Structure 1
Amino acid sequence: MSVPDPTTAPELTSFERTALYKSLGNPLRRRILDYLGRHGEANSTVLGRELGESSGTTSYHLRKLAEQRLIEEIPEKSRGRERWWRALPFSHTTPDPATMNPEEYAAAEHLALLKIEVDTELFRRAHEEYRGPQGWAQVQRHGSWMTREEVLAFMRDYHELLSRYGHTREDAPEGARPVSLRFYAVPDSVGEWKGEPTGP
């Protein structure tokens, strides 16, 4: 999989970013994007059945997601009112909150809180499903001393690893499964901490 580098993603305006955060912060739209990411394609009827919503509701949200280029119609499958959709590759880097206007900041904050809830659940599952160093679920916790330049270089290498080992749904080899990965780097308070790595 060729993972888009967020440092080269097209620059969005504040208005576009605000609309994007609001869309991604909508619980149903997030479920639609998750379904398309896992299953490849769907129409409003399929999504309505699988997500427990009316097809009219899912159709409305599909159109909104398409307006923001998060999904696209599959013309070879669409017939008349039956429109099929697939997710588009997406990468975006959130700018410094200090540069946001109040509306953009509020939308970004709401989305960040939703992401924290999702990440907390993934963290819990990773620990519960951990079966040793050869299992599907992996948990690593490390600390180290780094300069800011080294942290940024580490991030670049992280993106290269994603590109090297990841696949799109379409070209994934047999036996591949969708895997959620998260990476955080945050400076700790300077003290007596030695930075020893810890496992699960």
Structure 2
Amino acid sequence: MSERRTISRIRPNAMALRALAHPQRLRMLGLLRIEGPATATSLAGRLGLNSGATSYHLRQLARHGFIEEDEGRGNGRDRWWRARHESTTFLEDDSDEDALDAGIAFAQAALNAQIALMQRALERHIELPPEWRKASTISDFNIPLTAGQAEALVEKLHAVLWEAMETAPQLGAAREAGMETVTILLHAFPRAPEEF
């Protein structure tokens, strides 16, 4: 088992969550977290944007504490940016109506990005080597539970996933041959009675 490391997290306020809910900002932060530091020009090329718009979105992400300038790279003309945290936590305290509304708006943007990510994964599934097809899944489980039981189950699943993340190499860092970034999406919710 690898040595455990601490996963850096951010718990943004409502204003920061609203800023992050922009689809391009969400994608930029994801790329900086997964692939490591980048310039506005390289991110613009990856995302099909102009560098002016990309620079604006990067400044907004920095303003709200999601990213920072990577001072050890580049020069005066070539600014590099890096993610400040590996994870964003939200919707943990729903006592504040504004925070709840902002959390829902961010969750909607994140869900849209996750759906697109799953669609692309499914489209390339047939191209994967057999070992990666076997290691991939699209699953759902419907289990009768009380709210307390559901919360306990989600906490157990999170504990397993946090442990896996804590013992894995940091995103964007060197890794052993054959190791890929694996995305695991976890959604848990009470099913509406009218759904079939």
For normalisation by structure 1, the TM-score amounts to 0.71
Question: What's the CA shift for 1:157?
Answer: 1.7
Per-residue CA deviations over 1:43-63 (Å, capped at 9, x if unaligned) read 122222332333232222212
Contact 2:91 2:100 in 1 (8 A): no
Q: 2:80 aligns with which of 84, 98, 109?
A: 84
Cα RMSD (Å) of the superposition?
A: 3.3
Question: What's the CA shift for 1:181?
Answer: 1.6
User: Hey, what does 2:158 align to over in structure 1?
Assistant: 159
Q: 1:118 aligns with which of 100, 113, 116?
A: 113
1:99 aligns with 2:96: yes
Distance (whole Å) between structure 2 residues aligned to residue 48 and residue 141 of structure 1 = 36
Aligned length, in residue pairs: 182
Per-residue CA deviations over 1:68-107 (Å, capped at 9, x if unaligned) read 1211221111422322111122321215667313xx5654
Q: Which secondary structure state, in structure 1, belongs to the residue aligned with residue 68 of structure 2?
A: strand
User: Hey, what does 2:71 align to over in structure 1?
Assistant: 75
1:181 aligns with 2:184: yes
Percent of pairs identical after alignment? 26
Distance (whole Å) between structure 1 residues aligned to residue 27 and residue 91 of structure 2 = 21
Question: What's the CA shift for 1:2?
Answer: 4.9
Change (3 A) 1:62 1:127: closer
Letter of the structure 2 residue corresponding to residue 35 of structure 1: L
Structure number with bigger Rg: 1
Per-residue CA deviations over 1:15-38 (Å, capped at 9, x if unaligned) read x31x22222221221221132233
Between 1:31-40 and 1:171-180, the stretch displaced more is 171-180
**Unpaired runs of at least 5, structure 1:** 191-200
Question: What's the CA shift for 1:140?
Answer: 2.0
Q: Which secondary structure state, in structure 1, belongs to the residue aligned with residue 88 of structure 2?
A: coil
Letter of the structure 2 residue corresponding to residue 150 of structure 1: Q
**Unpaired runs of at least 5, structure 2:** none
Contact 1:77 1:84 in 2 (8 A): yes
User: Hey, what does 2:146 align to over in structure 1?
Assistant: 147
Matches within 5 A, 1:21-60: 21-60=17-56
Between 1:78-87 and 1:127-136, the stretch displaced more is 127-136
Change (3 A) 1:48 1:189: closer
Question: What's the CA shift for 1:152?
Answer: 2.0
Contact 1:126 1:137 in 2 (8 A): no
Q: Which secondary structure state, in structure 1, belongs to the residue aligned with residue 81 of structure 2?
A: strand
Contact 2:21 2:105 in 1 (8 A): yes
Question: What's the CA shift for 1:184?
Answer: 2.1
For normalisation by structure 2, the TM-score amounts to 0.72
